[in-house]
Amino acid sequence: MEPVSLDVTVDMDLQIWIIGTIALVLKLGAVLLFLLLMAAYLVLVERKLLGRIQVRYGPNRAGKYGLLQPFADTIKMMTKEDIVPDAADRVIFLLAPAVVAITALLMFAVIPFGPDITVYGHRVPLVVTDINVGLLFVFALSSLGVYGAALGGWSSNSKYSLLGGIRGAAQMVSYELALGLSLIPVVMEAGSFSLVDIVNAQTQLPYILLEPVAFAIFFISALAEIKRIPFDLPEAENELGAGFHTEYSGMRFGLFFLGEYVHMQVLGGLIAVFFLGGWHGPLLPGPVWLAVKIVLVCLVMIWIRGTLPRLRYDQLMNFGWKVLIPAALLNVVVTGARLLW
C-alpha cells in the first residue's frame, strides 16, 4: 500500500470538501431556522388575520400584540401529556406525525433561494441540493406525505380519525394528479426538471404570465394538497371532531400542525419558483425576494380560508377529476402546440 502523500491536489480536494461541508451545514441551519420560525409566526399571523376578518382581535395577551404567542403555544404543546389510545396501533401511531413533518421539511431542500455566491474563491450555490430531477423529488415527497395523514387516521382506531384518514388519502391522491399535470407545461417551457434551471429560465418573464392556466390549477391543487379550506374535509371540525388527528395530543399533534404550516411555506416557495420567478426581483437580494413571495402566497391562502366555505365531498371529487385534470391535460396540449409553432 502506497503512503498517502499530501500533495497539492489532495490538499485542494480536502479544502473543497471542507468548505462544501461547512457551506451545506450553514445552509441547512439557515433553511431550518427560517422554516420553523416562519411556521410558528404564520400560525400567529393566521389567527390574527382570521380574527380581523371575523371582527375580533385574535390572540393579544402574550407579549405586545401577542407576539410571544408562538412561544407560549410551543411550551404548552411540549409540556402536555403524550396520550396513545389503548386500541391504537402503537408504532404507526407514534411515527405518523413525524412522516408529515419530515416530508414537508425535506421538500425545501431543492428550492433555490438565491444566485451562486463566491466565498474565498469557491462557488457556493444558494440551494441545499440541486438535483436534475428536483421537481420529481418534490412530488415523491408530497406523495409520501399522504401516508402521514392516512396512517395517522387508521392507527388511532377511532371512527372519526379513520374517516378523516380515508378522506385525506382519496383527496390528496386525486389532486396530486392535477398538481403534477399542471407543472408539465412549466417543465416544457424550461426544458428541465431542475428547480435551479426553472428559476433561471424566468429571468425575463415569470411563468405566471406565460402559463396563467397552469398557475390557477397548481394553486387550487396546492390548497387541496395541504388540506386547507375550502378543501379541509379530512379534518372537518363540525362533523369529524378534528379528523385524522382527533386522538393526538401534545407535541405529536404539534408535529401535524408544524407539518401543515411548513408545507404551506414549501408550496409558497414552489409557486414562487414555478410561476413568480423564484428569487429574481429588482433591488432586494435573492433570499429576501423569495421570502417575500412565500409570505405573499401564504397570506392569500389565509385570506381564502377566511372567505370560502367548505366544499361537499362529491363537489370536491367532481371538481378534481372532471374540471382540474381535463383542464391540465388540455393545457399540456396547448403549450406543446405553442412551443412547436
Partner 1 sequence: MNLFNILFYSIALLIVVSTGLAVTRRNLVHAVIYLIMSFFGSAFVFYLFGAPFLAALMVIVYAGAIMILFLFIIMMLRVETPEEQLFPARQMWPAVAVAAGYLVVGALLAAHDPAAGAVLGPAQTEPAVFGAYVFRNTWLAVEVTSLLLLVALIGALFIGKRPTHESEE
List residues near partner 1 by CB under 8 A: 89, 92, 131-133, 136-137, 139-140, 143-144, 146-147, 150-151, 153-155, 162, 165-166, 169-170, 173, 176, 191-193
Q: How far is the CB of 113 from partner 1 (least distance, A)?
A: 22
Return the number of the residue (69 or 142) whose C-beta is nearest partner 1: 142
39: CB partners within 8 A, 6+ apart:
258, 261, 262, 265
Return the number of the residue (72 or 177) whose C-beta is nearest partner 1: 177
Return the number of the residue (156 or 265) whose C-beta is nearest partner 1: 156
Residue 228 phi, psi dihedral angles, 5° rounding: -105, 160
In angstroms, how far is CA 219 from the centroid of its own chain? 12
Q: Positive or negative CA dihedral for 245, 247, 249, 255?
A: negative
Q: How far is the CB of 141 from partner 1 (least distance, A)?
A: 8
Return the number of the residue (38 or 149) whose C-beta is nearest partner 1: 149
User: At 34, which amino acid appears?
Assistant: F
Tell me if the bond preceding 185 is cis, omega within 30° of 0.
Answer: no
Are 247 and 88 in contact by the 8 Å Cβ rule? The answer is yes
Q: How far is the CB of 140 from partner 1 (least distance, A)?
A: 4
Question: What is the C-alpha separation between 295 and 37, in angstroms, rounded?
Answer: 13
Question: What is the C-alpha separation between 273 and 278, in angstroms, rounded?
Answer: 4
Q: How far is the CB of 314 from partner 1 (least distance, A)?
A: 14
- Which conformational region is residue 45 in: left (phi greater than 0), alpha (psi within -120 to 50 degrees), or beta? alpha
Question: How many of the other CB atoms lie within 10 Å of CB of 81?
Answer: 6
Q: How far is the CB of 157 from partner 1 (least distance, A)?
A: 11
Report the run of H or E that residue 317 belongs to, with start and end: helix 313-318
Q: How far is the CB of 133 from partner 1 (least distance, A)?
A: 5
Q: How far is the CB of 202 from partner 1 (least distance, A)?
A: 19
Q: For 119, which DSSP code? A: E
Return the number of the residue (38 or 179) whose C-beta is nearest partner 1: 179
Helix (H, G, I), strand (E, B) or coil at 123: strand
Q: For 54, which DSSP code? A: T
Question: What is the C-alpha separation between 153 and 146, in angstroms, rounded?
Answer: 11
Return the number of the residue (8 or 91) whose C-beta is nearest partner 1: 91
Helix axes 212-225, 325-340, angle to 10 degrees: 150
Q: How far is the CB of 93 from partner 1 (least distance, A)?
A: 12
Question: What is the C-alpha separation between 335 and 55, in angstroms, rounded?
Answer: 45
Return the number of the residue (69 or 171) whose C-beta is nearest partner 1: 171
Q: How far is the CB of 136 from partner 1 (least distance, A)?
A: 4
Question: What is the C-alpha separation between 318 and 237, in angstroms, rounded?
Answer: 22
